[in-house]
Amino acid sequence: MICPFCSYESTRVLESRLSCEKASIRRRRECESCIKRFTTYERVENCAITVVKKDKTKEKFCRKKLVKSISDACKKTAVSNIMIDKITESVESEVVMTGKKEVSSSFIGEKVLNHLADINEIAHLRYLSAFKQYRSLEELIEEIKTSSKVPALFQF
Ligand SMILES: [Zn+2]
């Protein structure tokens, strides 16, 4: 990508966002020479990212679904809709940044968990239990015991 200001050939990507409505990836870039910033839009076909689920079935990446799964985990917690939006945006950005056309649902799940671990313990645990689909409470407890992402308060 050539800098529109100084024509230098190397730019750094600061942020990538998928816009399904516009079928494009928006990237904020910074020129490595003159440090000026600019935005590029790259067209993607039919919102090209596919999510591969655990059972190997595939579906289109869907922002709404991601928002819903996070919202469910955040019900009746202090996590606001604005926070949920922010998490969605950064996860989306992390997905796009992989540069891959297919990502696994567990990749997305792990990213969401990382964000939730930083902001709300309850939401994090709820998402964790929904995501891993534990068959028993013992399994969940085992995960909590071994996870470094779970705050000390929740360690048994
Ligand atoms: Zn430049």
Q: Are residues 40 and 64 in the same domain?
A: no
Ligand 1 centroid–CA 38 distance in Å is: 10
Domain edge (last residue) among 48, 68, 83: 48
Q: Are residues 113 and 37 in the same domain?
A: no
Ligand 1 centroid–CA 98 distance in Å is: 25
Ranges of the chain with pLDDT below 50: 46, 152, 154-156
The answer to the question of residue 156 being in a domain is no
Q: Are residues 76 and 93 in the same domain?
A: yes
pLDDT the model gives residue 155: 44
Q: Are residues 43 and 71 in the same domain?
A: no
pLDDT the model gives residue 46: 45
Q: Are residues 41 and 74 in the same domain?
A: no
Ligand 1 centroid–CA 13 distance in Å is: 13
Q: Are residues 23 and 59 in the same domain?
A: no
**What are 21-39's pLDDT values in tens digits?**
666 778 899 999 999 999 9
pLDDT the model gives residue 156: 44
Ligand 1 centroid–CA 115 distance in Å is: 33
The answer to the question of residue 29 being in a domain is yes
Ligand 1 centroid–CA 134 distance in Å is: 51
Q: Are residues 39 and 95 in the same domain?
A: no
Question: DSSP of the chain, one letter per residue?
Answer: ---TTT--S-EEEEEEEEETTTTEEEEEEEETTT--EEEEEEE-TTS--EEEPTTS-EEE--HHHHHHHHHHHHTTSS--HHHHHHHHHHHHHHHHHT--SEEEHHHHHHHHHHHHHHH-HHHHHHHHHHHHT-SSHHHHHHHHHH-TTS-GGG--
Q: Are residues 79 and 132 in the same domain?
A: yes
Q: Are residues 43 and 55 in the same domain?
A: no
| Residue 132 structural domain | 49-151
Number of domains, the chain:
2
The answer to the question of residue 110 being in a domain is yes
pTM assigned to the model? 0.66
